[in-house]
Chain A
Amino acid sequence: MSTTRRTILIASGATLATPNIAPAQEAPGVTATEIRIGSTNSLSGPASAYSVISTCLTAMFRRLNDEGGVAGRRINFTVYDDAYSPPRTLEQTRRLVEQDRVAFLFNQLGTPTNNAVHRYVNQRRVPHLFLATGADKWANPREFPWTIGWQPSYRVEAQIYAKHILETRPNARIALLYQNDDFGRDYLNGVRDVLGPRFDSMVRTATNEATDPTVDSQIVQLQASGADVLVCGVIPRFAAQAIRRVHEIGWRPMMFMTNVSVSVGAVMEPAGKERGVGLITSDYRKDQSDPAWANDPGMNEWRGFMQRFVPGGDLTDNNFTYGYGVGTTMIQVLRQCGNDFSRENVMRQAANIAPMDVATLLPGIKVQTQPNNFNVIRQMQLQRWDGSGWVRFGNVIEGANV
């Protein structure tokens, strides 16, 4: 009996130790001196404004290599242009995986583009890490264990609003205005996640099409339902209209606006700065134009990096703070890998990030993953419009774990 147990112990000990013996040479895209990482971005085409994310990440890996790399290996980061066209994304991704033989894929840009490679990478078991898209579908480890997003999805954002509503007005009557597409429906789903069976009794909804001229009639219809809370998942043009209309008809609900439609220039000024007082939205990044972060150590770290490695970069472009955040997460995963950069281990480490702070994210907002929860950033902080700017308030709120 005791011999058997000892045998089992030795055997299991050996099994546990194997990953660290010398598997690195076997792993695709990894040699004794190099780790190859691939990505696609819209370097040309309609979404090319996002290509600065790749510029930022390339610079971060250069800094990492200057500092000696990871486990003695340099990072070789290849970005191909897909012009935001899904068939091209598949072509370029296959080139990265089959011809360039990268170890894994990192931060590919776009929802339709990542859709086109979603099944391919999961069939081939290639880690498809920290995608640059806000869709909710990337956090599905049971069906797609090789794909993981990064930023909070619209659905998580809506969950956070719903949680705040329940906390401050447990008996609220909620009006929900959302755009009738995938973007808008994420807000519907997020609110439903939190309210559960109470959804039907608490919420009245109205939808708009991206092609509608106005949302005036929807606002009037929602006011007539007697709601005292209004949640809006609409694009900037309709956001400005909604803020203005709500004010004009004398409705004073607790009003939430999706954080894609809160730009001062595109929404708050057209709506009328004084009309939006009290409007609530959310964020997870530090806004580099906010004087509160002028001497922040995290933002100074980012500014120093920009000065040295991206000297021509536009410091007001928040794609750089995004890139710095997602790059930091990637480097953490590489460090966690130890000496084993096999695809299995990279994915295992990407799914086991202990809560960590990132320089360009708001204090208290953590980057974290668990094998059953791929919502990497699941917290946000609310902010309120005071007539001239956004003021953060309250604690960091975490989306529902669904």
Chain B
Amino acid sequence: MKPLLIAAGLALALLPIWALESFHLFQLTLAVIMALAVLGLNIVTGYNGQISLGHGAFFAVGAYATAIPMSLLDWSFWATLPVSAIVCGVVGWGVGFPALRLGGLYLALTTFALAVAVPQILKHKAVEAWTGGVQGLFLLKPEAPAWLALSPDQYMYLVALLVAGLCYLLTANLLRGRIGRAMMAVRDNPTAAEAMGMDLASLKTRTFAVSAIITGMAGSLSAAVVEFVAPDSFTFILSISLFVGMVVGGVGSILGSVFGGLFVLFVPNLAEAISRSAPGVIYGAILILFLFILPDGVAGLVRRFTTKKRIIPGRETS
């Protein structure tokens, strides 16, 4: 059953390369990227219980970590990925430290401050020579090798799918194991976790680092797909949409992050298609509807259908 499911999933993921025309493929590429960014956020907020409203900042750092070497030093896209991972990991780890002292809402506001600050820091004159200031940086997306015979859009989708798929696989592996259980233990009951001998400080900062790396990878991909980065691309709205995507998709769910990414990209378009004059209202209504009908996110719905009802002895089934 399982290998069959995996094969079906893989086929479903690859099908759009031939089935969709270039604009829709481009949109889907962006959705894959958003899904990856939401996954990053889900690691730290969903699995580790640390609320972050600032993941747009890591997205931006990842995007610039790819754009600067590609645009100014003519690096290939693939070579920038490790650099981006290291930079984002270090930044995420650094942000993890205040997180040790601040919990819940205070942490949310601290990370939010980060999201507000990053676009302005990118414009600062000390880094302007590198970031291009307000004007941003232009780069060229990687070209498909000749033997693949794919158009740039098809190739970019494949690249995004590959990077995102790898990140999803690694994350799933991480969360299923010992470390994943430790993360969740810290989320559910930090005191008990500490009593069991877990090093809270190191666990929390490292979780932040991993989360930042994953969201940073999404940023790197986005820079390559859009072929342009500017501070205005990474306003705090981005952080909020990632958060919305995570909640709608399903907090603490890997599969939910995929739905979150689709929501982030397609629902604003849907809202605009319904009403040109008040898309914000429609967006809000759709969001509320989602939260009412699917309180555990899309992933919760999937779970409800796939898991069998457990009957606990001595309790009425509801």
A positions within 8 Å CB-CB of B = 43-46, 79-81, 83-87, 90-91, 94-95, 97-99, 111-113, 115-116, 119-120, 180-182, 209
Contact = CB atoms under 8 A, between A and B. Distances in A.
A81 B283 CA distance: 13
B30 A86 contact: no
A209 B128 CA distance: 13
Interface string B281-296: 0000000000000000
A52 to B, nearest CB: 13
Contacts of B231: 112
B10 interface: no
B60 to A, nearest CB: 12
A80 B123 CA distance: 27
A118 B272 CA distance: 24
A97 B23 CA distance: 9
Interface of B: 21-24, 26-27, 30, 123, 125, 133-136, 138, 222, 226-228, 230-233, 235, 237-238, 268, 272, 276, 279-280
Binding site of B, secondary structure by majority: helix, strand, loop or mixed? Answer: helix
B133 A181 contact: yes
A87 B136 contact: no
Contact of B228 (A98, A111, A116): A116
A134 B4 CA distance: 57
B153 to A, nearest CB: 9
A79 B27 CA distance: 18
Given A81-B272, A85-B237, A115 B136 contact: yes
A86 B230 contact: yes
A89 to B, nearest CB: 9
A181 B134 contact: yes
B226 A86 contact: yes
Contact of A80 (B26, B222, B226, B272): B272
A119 B227 contact: yes
Given A94-B26, A119-B227, A180 B125 contact: yes
Q: Can you list the 7 inter-chain pairs with the closest CB atoms, starting with the nearest?
A: A98-B23, A112-B230, A112-B232, A116-B228, A86-B233, A87-B226, A94-B23
12 contacts: A83-B237, A85-B237, A87-B30, A95-B27, A98-B21, A111-B134, A112-B135, A112-B136, A115-B228, A116-B136, A116-B230, A120-B227
A90 B134 contact: no
A45 B241 CA distance: 13
A87 B134 CA distance: 15
B228 A182 contact: no
Given A95-B23, A119-B138, A81 B279 contact: yes
B35 to A, nearest CB: 15
A98 B231 CA distance: 27
- Majority secondary structure, A binding face: helix
Contacts of B136: 86, 112, 115-116
Contacts of A91: 26-27, 30
A151 to B, nearest CB: 18
Nearest to A94: B23
A182 B135 contact: yes
A95 B237 CA distance: 22
Contacts of A182: 133-135
A98 B232 contact: no
A94 B133 CA distance: 25
Contacts of A83: 237, 268
Contacts of B133: 181-182
Nearest to A210: B123
Contacts of A111: 134-135
Contact of B279 (A43, A85, A181, A209): A43
- Of B123, B138, B227, B230, the most chain A CB neighbours within 10 A belong to B230
Given A91-B27, A95-B27, A112-B230, 13 more contacts: A44-B280, A79-B276, A80-B272, A84-B232, A85-B235, A86-B226, A86-B228, A87-B30, A91-B26, A112-B233, A116-B136, A181-B134, A182-B133
B76 to A, nearest CB: 19
Contacts of A95: 23, 27
A59 to B, nearest CB: 14
Contacts of A115: 135-136, 138, 228, 230
A120 B133 CA distance: 21
